[in-house]
Structure 1
Amino acid sequence: MSEQGALGPRYARQRRLPELGDAGQERLATSRVLVIGAGGLGAPLLSYLAAAGVGSLTVVDPDLVDLTNLHRQVLFTPADVGRAKAEVAAERLTLQNPEVEVRAVVDAVTPVTALDLLSGHDLVLDGSDNFPTRYLASDACEILRLPLVWGSILAFSGQVAVFRADTGGPTYRDLHPVPPRPGEVPSCAEAGVLGMLCGVIGSTMALEAVKVLAGMGDPLQGRVALYDALRSRWHELPLARDPSRAPVTALEDLRVTCALPGPSGPAGSAAAPEVLPVELPALLAAGVRVIDLRESSEITERGAVAGAEHVPLAELLALTGEARAALEGAVLLCAGGTRSGSAQRVLAEHGVGVRSLRGGAEALRAFRAR
């Protein structure tokens, strides 16, 4: 973005703020920002960062637009269903503000790619929806000494924080020292999420990013903001770096080490084939191996899928050799499709092709209830 553009009439109202001013606007115009996730949180925060005049935005997301996204992911329309979120987001942001350079990366952040992807940026925003990516983003930012704005949402609750390992502050590992066990924390696909909550948390993340980039105000460092949408209340949780925690010096793949679901990639693509609930009975009748990845407590509470073999996610990802190879051609299912899609991606990296039940056991239950 040119200096003339940075100080042009488009940004006049925010430049008038003495805390920002022309100097702050110029800092925004020369900033390079990477955003992980173009979904519920990414859509509003990307829109506001582009509107504010952040000079360069890199959008990283492996997923395709799905009809279930549209109630909260406001960058997309029904015509975008089936297209890559990162590419659609880049198109919309360029239309919104042609002065901003936008780059789309249709891929997941992995331990192999993270450092290269994040390098060269001034700040990272993590709007991902899975624990492996959250730990990975935090660890990569700690290694690269980059500030990280993090946010999360579930049902009616949201959280926002700014992690500054570059200044000795706490990180995501200080907030969550121990990764949750598989099935311990439901995904938005399983527990649901209110669309407007994404706007509140995503906009707050954009605000924190602009404060860090422009050097104004008091960013959410050393504290976590908690939002209760049902009661319209904000609370704060103080957060300090654990002095006994060793600095992060290498990246790990939590999908494997902790058997946690990570990014599933484009749903229903040739590389990640899905099975529809209507197709499952015929596959079972034909003798296709169907594996239920849910925890025993979930099956007790919600009921088993007749004919399916029960292998919890952690056990399935721990399989090696012939046992892993024997999974070839199986159909995986979980509660809402997130864990089965993630397991599908991990197995594909080991050369084992499986299919995932779209919408999981809940979609199957809804189909059978028709």
Structure 2
Amino acid sequence: MNRFERQVILNGLGIEGQSKLRSSSVLVIGAGGLGSPILLYLAAAGVGKIGVVDGDRVALSNLNRQVLFGEKDLGKNKAENAVRYFQEKYSDIQWEVFPEMIRNDNAEELISAYDLIIDGTDNFPTRYLVNDACVLLEKPLVFGAIYQHEGQVSVFNHGPSACTYRDLYPQMPAATEIPNCAETGVLGVLPGIIGNLMALEAIKVIAGYGKPLVNRVLFFNSLTSQSYEVEILPNPGAREAMPQSMASFMITDYELACEGIKQLTWAEAMRKMNSEVAFVDVREPGELPPLECTGLVKIPLSQLENHLDRLEDSEEVLFFCQSGIRSQKAAQQLQQVYPEKRIYSIRGGINALKS
């Protein structure tokens, strides 16, 4: 008995559709809350080649929704751990692991090698970066996102008249405008639902089965269990705003374009540590764990406006918080007052340092 028997007998899918899945390749960017169910069901459906991109490590707070991982996986790279799990589960799938974040300098190489791309990331700069690369490389893109109790799913770049992520969101919003789940919380089942819908859309695109969500966005509310669709149309202005060539793409700073603030990793930040650089902790008193380092200044974001003069003499200012959201707000606030200063936000905050 073939393990795909229940799919093959489906009217409209059949042996031909299953063969398309078997001969296809999918790159899943992000192996977290959305990526976990996506990978589970793409693998179960029999996609022949799957690549996993993620430079993050498993943290305890991930486990309510990132169902590929458990307590024994804490501190391990998500992409490597996910692929290891599936290699033991299915022997008929070719897996490729990329334990890194997607960036301008690796996007073309990663994306060009796959038939379809799935974006399971959680921040605006990466979403625009992935979309633009997919448009330039003519790759269909399955998109999904969650915020508190609502999720959304769509298919971009699939066909000559298909919309892109920029048609849905022409103006680049700052990452600070919509906090991630580290700031607002999430019920673990919601990314499970949205991730499964994303896997479904990928299967439909690959197998030519059903009607994918092209030029449509599906919204789902977990509190009411209601869903609705919104139709989107191509936006010429949005297309003109994106890079028109890979050369232009390579020099586009998506973090700066979205947020107006440059972000640093902890490793990059530590290399800057000296008496002329202010490390500013904008967390509220009592938030754990504490951090002590050279040049540390503690100013809660709620009080920053009244204490900006404490940073007047610092040539460089590096803000950090628990997850990286409040630090971006603080950096933007200081930049407005001192536009000549070199101001950064530390990506991921203390959570990234712990992992």
* TM-score under structure 2 length normalisation: 0.79
Cα pair 1:155 1:192 within 8 Å, conserved? yes
Q: Does the alignment pair 1:73 with 2:66? A: yes
> Secondary structure of the residue that 1:51 maps to in structure 2?
helix
Q: Distance in 2 between matches of 1:165 and 1:279?
A: 48
| Aligned twin of 1:174 | 167
SS of 2:5 mapped into structure 1:
helix
Matches within 5 A, 1:118-129: 118-129=111-122
Report the Cα distance in structure 1 between the residues aligned to 2:330 and 2:115, rounded to whole angstroms: 33
**Aligned 8 A contact 1:141 1:165 in 2:** no
State whether structure 2 residue 38 is matched by structure 1 residue 45. Answer: yes
- Equivalence for 2:350: 358
CA distance in structure 2 between the aligned counterparts of 1:71 and 1:260, rounded to whole angstroms: 32
Question: Which string of whole-angstrom CA distances, capped at 9 and with x for unpartnered residues, describes residues 118-171 of structure 1?
Answer: 002110000000001101111111001110000001111000000025422110
User: Is 1:333 the counterpart of 2:333 in the alignment?
Assistant: no
After the TM superposition, which parts of structure 1 deviate over 6 Å for at least 4 consecutive aligned residues?
260-265, 271-276, 305-308, 341-344, 352-356
Whole-angstrom CA distance in 2 between matches of 1:215 and 1:38: 25
CA shift for structure 1 position 62: 1.0
Match of 2:194 in 1: 201
Q: How many residues align structurally?
A: 319
SS at structure 1 position matched to 2:151: strand
Note the alpha carbon deviations across 1:158-202, whole angstroms, 9 max, x for none: 000000254221100000000113521111111111100011000
1:4: which partner in 2? Answer: none
In the other structure, the counterpart of 2:290 is 279
Paired residues of 1:182 and 1:261 also in contact (CA < 8 A) = no
SS across alignment from 1:224: strand
Q: In terms of mean alpha carbon deviation, does 43-52 or 160-169 score higher?
A: 160-169
Residue from 284, 288, 292 that aligns with 2:296: 288
Instruction: Select which of 99, 113, 127 maps to 1:134.
Output: 127
Cα pair 2:52 2:98 within 8 Å, conserved: yes
Q: Which residue of structure 2 lines up, in the alignment, with residue 304 of structure 1? A: 303
| Structure 1 residue 243, shift from structure 2 partner | 3.6
User: What is the CA distance between 1:212 and its match in structure 2?
Assistant: 0.3
SS in 1 for 2:104: coil
- Let me know the Cα RMSD of the aligned residues: 3.4
Match of 2:103 in 1: 110
Distance 2:235 2:200 in 1: 27
Alpha-carbon shift at residue 336 of structure 1 (Å): 3.3
Matched to 1:358, the amino acid is: I
- 1:131 and 1:179 in contact (8 A); partners too: yes
- Give % identity: 41
In the TM superposition, residue 253 of structure 1 has moved relative to its aligned partner by 2.0
CA deviations on 1:7-50 (whole Å, 9 max, x unpaired) are: x6111111111211111111101101101100000000111001
Q: Deviations over 1:260-311 (max 9, x none)?
A: 689987xx7x66779983434x65xx8524576xxxxxx4xxx337998699
- Is the contact made by 1:262 and 1:342 (CA closer than 8 Å) also made in structure 2? no
The match for 2:29 among 26, 29, 36 is 36
